[in-house]
Every structure is written in structure tokens, then in C-alpha cells.
Amino acid sequence: MGREAQSARLSQVLDGLERGRGAVVEMAGEPGAGKTQLACWLAEQAGRGGLPVIWARAPRSGEGPFLVFRDAAGRTGAAEGSDPADPAAWYELIRQRAAGGVLLVDELHRADPSSLELALRLIRSVSSSAPSSSPSSPSPFVLVLAHRPRQSPPALLEALDLGVRTAGIVRVEAGPLEVAAVAVLLDRWRRPVAVGAYGAGAPDAAMPPAHALPGGSGASAAVLHAASKGLPGYLRLLVAAGFDAGLWPDRAGGDEVSLLREAAPLLAELGALSGPARAAARAAAVLGGTFRPADVARIAGLGARDGLAACAELVRADLVRPAGHGRRLAFRHPVVGQVAHADCELPFLLDAHRQALRMAAERGAPAVERARHAEHLVDTDGAAAARVLAEGAAETVTRAPAIAARWLRLALDALPARGREVEERAAWELAHCRALIASGRIREARALAHDLLAGGGPRPADPGPAGQPGDGGARLTPRLLLRAYAVCADAERLLCRYEEAEAIARTGMALLPRPLPAVLSPEATELIYEYGLVHVLRGTHDRIRPLLREAARARTEAGPSASAALGVLIAFCDVFCGDIARGAPEVTRCAALVDALPDGVAGHTPDVLALLGCAELYLERFPDARRHLQRGLDAATGGAQKHIRAHQLLGLTMIDQWAGRLDGAERRAAEAEELARAVGAPDVVTLATAMRAMTLVWARGRRYGGEAVALAARAVDVAALGRGWWATSAISLLAHAQLLGGDATGCMRTLRDGGGGDGLPQVQPAFRPSLLALMATAALAGGDAVGAERLLADAEADAGRLGLPLQWACVHRAGAQLRSARGEHSGALELFERAAEAFRGGGLPVQHAWTLIAAAPATAVVRGPGAALDVLARAESMARSCGAALAVEEAERVRARLSAGTRPALGPHPSAGPRVADLWSALSEREREVADLAAAGLRSRQIAERLFLSHRTVDSHLGSAYRKLGVSSRTALARALGPAVPG
């Protein structure tokens, strides 16, 4: 899988052998790259062709000469009566046994000296031989040498490089797999594989792991691809361990038993080391990350000189490699160290981690580093280890919340639930909830937060209308109680339970004095911010704006990130509500504040970059929006903030769609949908699905339009109408897709039902002009010019209040279509051109092309057909560069109508004779489709591109139509279908 180029090259080598030409094939690659797998594939192909296959493999230990070739020779000596150590005898025997077939030598980098010399002699012989027809000449064979270049002796590397340069050796490199190949592998590993499927002689490591696999979507494959570096051997280890992106690279997953079972070849590498080197490998595994040889020696109990020698042996074995500066080392891949750690005995681990923790404390290492050792000591060192874990969790929660959640759980289990630790424990429990939320385990966090508010007793049912979720949290101080309400409301909001979230947050807000104090505590600031977010997602921005402004006038003790977050939330509400005059300068001011924050500080309020990017998107500041959304996305690594990552992906999806990056938009929407499903946020799933459907309409054209609209409709059906921002946004996308698919009535119905009526009072005001213009276009398509005019008047009034160029462009385009319908072509063309120029200036090429296509008929009337065809050519070129198949199809359709008149699609002209009409009905649907386009003047290539057919298939359908209609050319076909109707 993913080795198509390599397998094609190997097939050529086998073909050459059948023609009497031998070859030397070098298979080079990193450990875990799949060299043995590729060799097994070659052996299977050779066996199917009737060619003999001989395996040779360098053992990890043993005595005597020619160890690599003992099995290949079939005996321990070279020949009867000869010296078992005679190189010439071994050379002749191996050539005789391999003659006419394939000799596969695996792991050649660890060959003994005599085996290496024999291999070099075989290389020189096979690579320099030419085909011969002489019966006395030795039969050629294929010599395949698999090795790791980092560990191979210089003489072997020199001989192979010389052979490659002189074209005497075929080099096949097993590099990293592509993401797509990893995705297919993951899917394939879900299905059982029969024993022997990889061919006789294949090592056990060729079989796929039997562990349950993570989701096989593109996003999961991309994460596993990055973690494994695209190398299938490491991929198999990660899957066997039950890979958890939130824990990586600290650990692969939680199944160490399966990891060790799958790691048998790697354990054999470790077992082949000397005693001191094995001790050093275990010590290095305890230290983790990058480590210093001196620290390794200390933990392994080796002296300085012996420790350096042991580390040097690990480097020679390519188990560890130099890392960074200061002569630090690291395992060649993190999972190698994790296998070494999992293979250690428990007593050694406890002593080693205790010593490593002491060493880290002596040099003042960060709490994160100390916590990695403390987590192994909670059962022995209790409360002390728990406090180190809590400190480490606070440091890493932004970057790796899943690790923080695990450390806090261990700390809570080790800390007594009585005495002076009660308040400390409550703070840790709230921090644990926050870490769970950030790692995507929102339902678990919600349950714990409710337990905490209930005072630690049995959790009550979901809060009622009053929002009282328990007895007020008897264990919590007043400040921690405010934080508990904020955390609980946050979990409910992220699960799209907005009524419950608002009720809980409102209950917590009742504990704050009103008016608000001049100085807000961090807990009060957090609760107010959360209350505001709940209203944003409910779509009730106006209710919260006065409170947010009052909070902004106070000074907060929470620091600059909290102040910036509150400012961004206020600015977002202003822009969303259409108050551009107030919101636009605030967005500019907040952007400067956020840009000045380091990533680590900004990460403590993860919503802020998503909110800021969306506010800039509403203001049509697309470069700024992309910058902030991408910054937030880049910061959300290691499984952090899956819910916020989904929001950022949706914003980037919209920008990509508008900017004509349709492939990127489809990929981002699919990833956002997957993340939203993972965290259990149905409204986010709805919007992500609708965005993906809209992208598919543009990218795949009318042929797939119905399927895409159905996808969006199913998503919207799940969401209750009028539920807030998510639902109304998804509904507007569905309406767009319906109109593009030709369903004007469905578009009108969707917008009226989801937007609260003709005036669309429930949609976001910042987008209302474009949606009213969309309704006007749909009304016009349905023949209701009066209704279209009324909707356009409302759209113009709203656009005038906003003053946003792209909203005006949508209104101008709809107005131009109305004028065209009235026959006011000059006025229509002027509006079309104003709209097209706005879309061009805003960087929206698909909308620019779509507007030019819509303007072509008016251009033909005002400036002539030639000018209209030029406009269509520009639009089609632009659409093709974006992959917008729908716009390309529309340009071809309009061009055909302008060139041949307005002919009804898929049928003969009404004036055609009865015989032709009868014959027309005898054509298949595809034949009628092809014939109609051919009669309109399209060439076979154009028809093939429009209908997604091959050129040959089009000619076949056209020939069949000719025969059934009794015609022999496109001209005769056009005459048979009747005269074109003047446009």
C-alpha cells in the first residue's frame, strides 16, 4: 500500500529476468519503513511467475562465517569436501542456488565480515553481467539487498552508491507513506487478513495488528501519519497501543500489552545490546524526550566513561540519535522509547523515576518535566507527588489537556478528601473539569461539574427551568462557586444545551453584586464571559451587550488575556448585530491586543481567536480573519480544544470556499464535522455538514447537486429551527444550495421557515442583505417579480446600514437580475459590473465568475455576442482554476444558448416533425442529453467535460443517436431537431 512506484520498478526487474537479464536491487529505508514488506511483495510476485525465491537474513547473534547465507545455502558448508570457510566455494554455491530466480537478503546492515564480503562479490558479479545465450554461462538472477543506510558499513554503502551511479544497481527507497495510503491501511487493518496473505517466507511482522483501530477518517489518518512520520512499522505500533492523539508524544496509548506484543522485532533489537547499553536504554526511556548521557549514566548506575560508551553503542545501533544542541540524545522515534519503558520491571521504574524526579528538582526543571516522573510515584509518595502533578497540569493544560486531565485525576485520587486539603481538592476538581473540556471529554466534565455543584452527593437530574443544579456546592468557597457555575455552563453550552447553560450561568450571575464592582475577580470575569458566550450561541446578543459593557468598564484581576477576551466578545456582538460603526473600530483595537499576547497566554481563553476571526469575517477582513483563525488552529495541537478547533475550521472553510480553494474547504468541513461528532456537539455537526454540502455543489456541479442538497437537508432536519447561530447559518447554506440546484421554491421555504419570515428577523444582521437578495433571486426564478422587488428594497435598506461592499455586491447582482427580467439590459449590466468588481476586489473568484456568467446575456444585448462570449471565456477560465465545476457548466450552458439560441434542454423543438419526435423518444436519457448538447454546437470534448464522460463514450452515444434519428452529422442533427428559437 502506497508503494506503487516501487512495485512498478520491481516488476520491471522481474520482467528483465524473464528476458535473461539479472539485476541488483538495493532496498534502502529507515527502520519501520517497510523494506521487508516490500521484499515479501516481490517474493510473492516472483513465485506467481514460477521463479524460485531464496531468503537470506542476517541473524542478531551467532558464530562462524557466512551467517547471513547459511539458510540460503541449505547447509552449513560450502560444498562436499571443501573448506566451510572458503569464500569462492560459498560464492559458487549461492550463485548456483539463486540461478534463474530471486535471492532476497534482509537486514544486510548487520552482516558479519565474511557475509559482507560475499555480498560485495555478488554485487560486482550480478551488476556487471550481461545477457548471454551460451548454455555454459551461469543463469542470471535478481539479488535484492535490504538494509538501513545509517547502520550499514561504509564498504557496502560505497559499492551500492557506485552501482547506482553507473546504472548497474536499481535503488528502491522505502520512504514515508502518503496520508492517503495511511488512511487505506487503517481501513484495511480493520478487516481480518488470512494467514499467508503476504506470501511464504514473510516474517510474522508482516501481519497487521489485531488491536481496535481509531477512526479511519482523513483527519485521524493525518494525525497518525504525522505521529508515525509516515513509516508503517511505527504506524503499526501506535495502532497496537490504542493511539491517543491527546497523549502523544508522551505516550502512544493505554494498551502496553498489545504494544509489547507488536514490538517483538524492536524488543529483539534492544535484547541484542550489551548489558550496559540495555541499562542505558532503560534509563533513557525513564528520562524521556531529549536527555543527556550524564543523566543516563547516573540513573543506569554506570560510571561516566561506561555511560558514554553505552550511549555510543545505542547510537551505533540507531536506537538513539543526536538531538538538538548540547550533545543531547533522543530515541529515533518516541514510540521506541515507550516500548523500552514498557519493557522495564516495576521496581526499576519506581527507583529510576524517583531518582529522575530528584534530579529534575535539583536543577529547577519545569513542573511539566517533574510531573512526568511524579505520575509513576503516586502510589508510593502520595500527597507530594499529587502536588507536583497539579503544578504540571497547570503548565500543560493549554498545550496537552488530555495529559493535564490524567495528572489531575491521579492527583485527586492521591489527595485526602478531608482537613485542610478540601479547598485545594475542590480547586483541582474544577481544573480537572476544564482539562476534560479542553480535551473533548465534555460529557464527562459536565457530570463532574454537576457533582461538584451538588456538594459531592448524588448527582440530580438535569437542572430545571430555574437552573438550580443542587444545593449550591457546600464544599466550595464563594469564589470557587462562581467558577463552578462557569465551568458547568461551559460544558452545557458546548453540548449545545443552550437553555440549560443559560439557566446555570444566570444562577451563578445572581451571586454577583449589581451594579458590578469596580474590580472583578478572575472567577467573576470568567462567569460573565461564559454567560456572554451562551447568549452569542443562542443568538440573543442584544440581551447581553449592556452587561458586557458594564463588565468592560471594570478592572479585572484576571490579567490581559481575560481583558482582551471580554473586548473581543463585545466587539463580536456589535458586529453580529449589525452595529458596524461601533464594532469595526473595536475589532481593530482588540486585534492589536490579541496579536500582542503570546500563544501560551492567548491559549488560556481559546474562544478568543475564533471569535475575533469570525468578527473579522463578518467585516469582510478576510486576510485578518484567516490569520487569527489559523493561529488558533495551530495552537490547538495534541488533541487540545477540539470544540474550538471545530469552530476555527468552520471559519476557515467559509474563507476557503469564498476564495475558491474548494478542495481545502471540503477537507476542513469534513474535519470539523468529525471533531464535532467526537465531542457531541450536534449543532456544530449541522453547520459543518451544510458547509461541506455547499462546497460539493460548487466543486462537483449539477450532476451531484441533488446529492449535496439532500446531505445539507438531512443535516438541517436534525437541528431545531430557530435554535440560534448554528442553525440559522446552516439553514442559509441549505437555501443557497437549493437555489443553485434549481429549487427556487425550496430555497424560499427554507429561508422563510428558518429565518423567521420574509424579513428574516432571526438571521445574523451582518449577512441579512445577501440572504434577502438570495430570496429575491428565488422569487424571480419562481415568476414573482413583485415579491422580488419588495425583498430587494429590504435588502438595499439593510446593506445601506451595514456599508459592507460584498453584501452590497450580492444585492446589486440580484437587482441586475430583476432589471434583466424587465428588459432593462443597460441598467442590469451596470449593476452586474459593479457586483463583479466588488467580488473581484474582495478576493472571491467563484462569485466573481458566477456574476460574469449571469451578466453574459445582458452583455450580448448591450455590447454584442462577441463581448458576451469574451465575458464567458474569462469566467470559465476563472472557474476552472478554482475547480468550480458548477460555474464551468453554467458558462458552457449560457454559451450554447447564446451561440445557438434558447433551445429547450433535452428535447426536440416543438416544430420538429412527428417522425423525429417519435424517434427522439426512442433515445436513452444519456443519448438525448448528448444529442441536445451536440445540436447546440458543443464539441465532443466539451460535452465529455460537462457530463463527466470520456471522449470515446460521448462519440459512442452520439453515433447511436445518429442511427436512431437517421442522420449522419451534427448539422443534420440540428436540422432534425428543428430551428432555434430567437433569444
Q: Is the pLDDT of residue 746 over 60?
A: yes
Helix crossing, 478-494 with 442-453: angle to 10°? 150
pLDDT at 924 > cutoff 60? yes
Model confidence over 354-397: pLDDT tens digits? 999 999 999 999 999 999 999 999 988 888 899 999 999 999 98
Tally Cβ neighbours within 10 Å of residue 477.
Answer: 14
Three-state DSSP state, 829: helix
pLDDT digit string (tens) for 225-246? 999 999 999 999 999 999 988 8
**What pLDDT does 85 receive?**
77
pLDDT of residue 666: 92
pLDDT(192) > 70: no
**What string of DSSP letters covers 31-44?**
TTS-HHHHHHHHHH
- β-bridge mates for residue 555, sequence order: 519
Question: For position 639, what pLDDT does the model report?
Answer: 58
pLDDT band at 976 (very low <50, low <70, confident <90, very high): low
pLDDT range class, residue 832, cuts 50, 70, 90: very high
- Taking residues 756-785, what's their average pLDDT? 88
CA distance 841 to 804: 13
Q: Average pLDDT of 611-629?
A: 93
Chain segment 633-654, per-residue pLDDT in tens: 887 665 567 788 888 999 999 9
Q: Compute the average pLDDT of residues 151-161.
A: 94
| Distance from C-alpha of 118 to C-alpha of 126, rounded to nearest angstrom | 12
Look-up of cell digits 422569487: 779
Q: Has residue 69 got a pLDDT over 70?
A: yes
Distance CA 613, CA 629 (A): 5
Residue 962 pLDDT grade (very low, low, confident, very high; cuts 50, 70, 90) = confident
The whole-chain average pLDDT of the chain stands at: 84
| Model confidence pLDDT, tens digit, residues 286-296 | 999 999 999 99
- The rounded Cα 422 to chain-centroid distance in angstroms is 42
- The answer, yes or no, to whether residue 528 has pLDDT greater than 90, is yes
- pLDDT at residue 600 in the model: 65
pLDDT band at 214 (very low <50, low <70, confident <90, very high): very low
pLDDT tens digits along 667-681:
999 989 888 888 888
The SS3 call for residue 203 is coil
Which residues are bridge partners to 331 per DSSP?
A: 320
pLDDT at 122 over 50: yes
pLDDT the model gives residue 754 = 80
706 pLDDT band (50/70/90 cuts)?
confident
Query: What is residue 202's predicted lDDT score, i.e. its pLDDT?
Result: 36
Over range 469-488, report the average pLDDT: 77
Give dist(CA 692, CA 695) in Å, integer: 5
- Averaged pLDDT, 307-328: 91
Distance between CA 276 and CA 283 in Å, rounded?
Answer: 11
Classify residue 291 by its DSSP letter.
B
Lowest mean pLDDT among 473-482, 570-579, 911-920: 911-920
Q: At 938, which helix (H) or strand (E)?
A: none
The confidence score (pLDDT) of residue 212 equals 36
Give residue 138's identity as a one-letter amino acid code: P
Backbone angles phi, psi at 170, to 5 degrees: -95, 120
Cβ(473)–Cβ(492) under 8 Å?
no
C-alpha triplet 712, 782, 812: angle, nearest 5° = 80
Judge whether residue 975 has pLDDT over 90: no
Cα gap 644→649, rounded to integer Å = 9
pLDDT of residue 713: 81
What is the rounded CA–CA span in Å between residue 547 and residue 26?
Answer: 71
- CA 979 to CA 664: how far, in whole Å? 45
Percent with pLDDT over 70 in the chain: 85
Whole-angstrom distance, CA of residue 573 vs CA of residue 578:
9
634, burial (CB in 10 Å: exposed 0-12, middle 13-18, buried 19+): exposed
Specify the 3-state DSSP secondary structure of 66: coil
Please report which confidence band the pLDDT of residue 714 belongs to, taking 50, 70 and 90 as the band edges.
confident
For 918, counting Cβ atoms within 10 Å of its Cβ (0-12 exposed, 13-18 middle, 19+ buried), the class is exposed
Place 326 in a pLDDT band, splitting at 50, 70 and 90.
low
Strands (E), 415-568: 519-520, 555-556
3-state secondary structure of 663: helix
Give the contacts of 54 (CB within 8 A, at least 6 positions apart). Answer: 72, 97, 98, 101, 102, 103, 104
With a cut of 90, say whether residue 300 has pLDDT above it: yes
State the pLDDT at residue 327: 84
Residue percentage of the chain with pLDDT more than 90: 54
Average pLDDT over residues 288-307: 95
Residues 6+ apart with CB under 8 A from 734: 690, 693, 709, 712, 713, 715, 716, 750, 754
Mean pLDDT of 860-882: 93
So what's the pLDDT on residue 135?
52
What is the radius of gyration, based on Cα positions, of the chain? 35
What's the rounded Cα separation, in Å, for the pair 512 and 818? 55
Report pLDDT for 721. 43
pLDDT of 909: 39
Answer yes or no: are the C-beta atoms of 502 and 535 closer than 8 Å.
yes
pLDDT at 213 over 80: no
Report, as an integer, the average pLDDT of 610-628: 93
Contact 496, 534 (CB under 8 A): no
Is the pLDDT confidence value at 842 over 80? yes
Interhelix angle 560-576/607-618, nearest 10 degrees: 30
